[in-house]
Amino acid sequence: MFILHCSDADGKSVSLRYAPHESSLTNLDGTPVLATNGQAGAPRVWEDAVRVSPQQPGRKIENPAVLKIQLGLACNYTCSYCNQSSQVDSMAMTRTADALSFLQDLDQWLKEPPSRIEFWGGEPLLYFRKLAILVPELDKRFPEAEFCMVTNGSLLTQEILDFIVRYDICITVSHDGPGQYLRGEDPFDDPQREALLKALWNNRKHGERMQFSSVLTPNNSDPAALRRWFVEKLGDESVVTSLEGVVATHDEKALAGPGVWSAAQYQSLKDAVASSFETGEALRIPALREKAKGLMQSILMGTPSSSMGQKCGMDRSDHVAVDLHSNVLTCHNTGANAQHGLGSALQMDEIRLDTSTHWAHRECCSHCPVLQLCGGSCMYLEGEQFAQSCENEYQFGLGVLDGTLRRALGLKLESVEGDVRRPTRRKVISILAQA
């Protein structure tokens, strides 16, 4: 349980009790802060999430609800904080023809329609010939399934655009707006690519079938400024810009560069995120809006943390990531030829997710005021890579918590009191040369 010390519009101190494991937010006298207006309904029965760990591996099931197809990890960009680059060497190479055998094998373990099928790279449009085999056939088999793809948008052609429209693929374009230099070239700098991106947006914006999505990094951490950048670029106030989240550190390169923030940069992040709720900009940014909504709902419904899985959902048995050899992977960001290759989808009963750690097994997450907002960062990171990713998530979460309180209650979060535990960090001991 934590005490949230806040100030109201007149600068008066107001303190609230927040218990993330029970999702209760009360005044210090125990009265609830949020009125349910009698809409709470009958008490809900919550199912416990499976708490995966190497000792208690998770399982995967046939006919998953979410199928993530890894086309390959190659990319034409070299983002400086890429969460896949450390995995590229462990990727099992697949050829275009493997898409055909993949579809044949699929008959054996995917008979029910998934609700969503995602196509992943690397950069998925590098693998357009694979997509041209997979998508029409999967559309025939599972017309009800939603198709989604995350791309850097730099390889669009008219042919690809027509294909996306024809198969109604929901598109997320990864782009960091003013911070794009951390990823590589800006496709908006090339008039032809810019025209294609605009044409795609103008087609896909109807029915919410496209968004631009950015990663918050130390010098590019203002979600409202990011949104303005895209509004101006697209010349469209309605452009949907979201966030992939705050930068994580999946390798030493990210730990030596854009994954590490100074205290001042964290403060700017928190201020920018919190004030975007006050101005209402955050409500136009799906990732922020959904986080705040989820937090409010958890408090209104008393969502117990025992029902919470990991933030990305890949600890769930009904979320399955595979490559075109039908290798089941920890997630679509990993390769099959090392520890993240979990076995074959053709023997789904044998799959054991033994590479990952549910947040409940991490002391810091069990003592974290933003647990309900974060969901435990990446489940397979350990050591300093986890510690730094966790710190980034923590500071971002505090910004969202503050923003949600400002928007919902008119209270500004000043500090958090309680048994907050942070992960153990790598200690750097400098050795001074003796004179």
- 343: which DSSP letter? E
In the complex, the smallest distance separating the C-beta of residue 390 from ligand SF4, rounded to whole angstroms, is: 3
Of 303 and 377, the one with the shorter C-beta distance to ligand SF4 is 377
Distance, CA of 239 to CA of 188 (rounded, Å): 15
Determine the angle formed by the axes of helices 383-409 and 263-279, rounding to 10 degrees. 30
In the complex, the smallest distance separating the C-beta of residue 181 from ligand SF4, rounded to whole angstroms, is: 23
Enumerate residues 384-413 that contact ligand SF4 by CB under 6 A.
390, 393-394, 397
Q: Which residue from 275, 300, 296 is spatially nearest to 285, judged by alpha carbons?
A: 275
Q: By CB under 6 A, is residue 322 in contact with ligand SF4?
A: no
Site track 89-128 with ligand SF4 (rule: CB under 6 A), x = hit = ----------------------------------------
Distance, CA of 422 to CA of 116 (rounded, Å): 35
Q: By CB under 6 A, is residue 230 in contact with ligand SF4?
A: no
Q: By CB under 6 A, is residue 182 in contact with ligand SF4?
A: no
In the complex, the smallest distance separating the C-beta of residue 368 from ligand SF4, rounded to whole angstroms, is: 3
In the complex, the smallest distance separating the C-beta of residue 374 from ligand SF4, rounded to whole angstroms, is: 3
User: Which residue in 359, 399, 400, 403 binds ligand SF4 (CB under 6 A)?
Assistant: 359
In the complex, the smallest distance separating the C-beta of residue 407 from ligand SF4, rounded to whole angstroms, is: 21
Residue 14's contacts (CB-CB under 8 Å, 6 or more residues apart) are: 6, 7, 8, 411
User: Which residue in 160, 336, 360, 365 binds ligand SF4 (CB under 6 A)?
Assistant: 365
DSSP sequence for 358-393: -GGGSHHHHT-TTHHHH--S-TT--HHHHHHHHHHH
Distance, CA of 326 to CA of 344 (rounded, Å): 6
How are strands ordered across the β-sheet holding 66-70? 241-246, 210-216, 170-174, 146-151, 116-120, 66-70, 319-323, 327-329, 341-344
In the complex, the smallest distance separating the C-beta of residue 356 from ligand SF4, rounded to whole angstroms, is: 7
User: What is the 3-state secondary structure of 94-123?
Assistant: CCCCHHHHHHHHHHHHCCCCCCEEEEECCC
Q: By CB under 6 A, is residue 314 in contact with ligand SF4?
A: yes
User: Which residue in 66, 226, 374, 400 binds ligand SF4 (CB under 6 A)?
Assistant: 374
Q: By CB under 6 A, is residue 87 in contact with ligand SF4?
A: no
Q: By CB under 6 A, is residue 333 in contact with ligand SF4?
A: yes
User: Which residue in 380, 399, 402, 403 binds ligand SF4 (CB under 6 A)?
Assistant: 380
Distance, CA of 14 to CA of 12 (rounded, Å): 6
Q: By CB under 6 A, is residue 377 in contact with ligand SF4?
A: yes
Of 187 and 376, the one with the shorter C-beta distance to ligand SF4 is 376
DSSP sequence for 387-424: HHHHHHHHHHHHHHHHHHHHHHHS-EEEEEEE----PP
User: Which residue in 114, 376, 399, 403 binds ligand SF4 (CB under 6 A)?
Assistant: 376
CA distances from 67 to 111, 243, 337, 352, 402 (A): 12, 22, 20, 17, 35
Q: What is the largest CA-CA distance in the chain?
A: 75
User: Which residue in 16, 371, 400, 411 binds ligand SF4 (CB under 6 A)?
Assistant: 371
Bridge partners, 19 (sequence order): 24
56 token code pair: 């208690």
In the complex, the smallest distance separating the C-beta of residue 396 from ligand SF4, rounded to whole angstroms, is: 8
In the complex, the smallest distance separating the C-beta of residue 157 from ligand SF4, rounded to whole angstroms, is: 28
Distance, CA of 314 to CA of 331 (rounded, Å): 6
The number of residues that bind ligand SF4 (CB under 6 A) is 22
Listed ranges 25-33, 253-261, 270-278, 378-386: which one lies at the site for ligand SF4 (CB under 6 A)? 378-386
Say if strands 327-329 and 341-344 run parallel, antiparallel, or are unpaired: antiparallel
Contacts with ligand SF4, residue ranges (CB under 6 A) = 83, 312, 314, 330-331, 333, 359, 364-365, 368, 370-371, 374, 376-380, 390, 393-394, 397
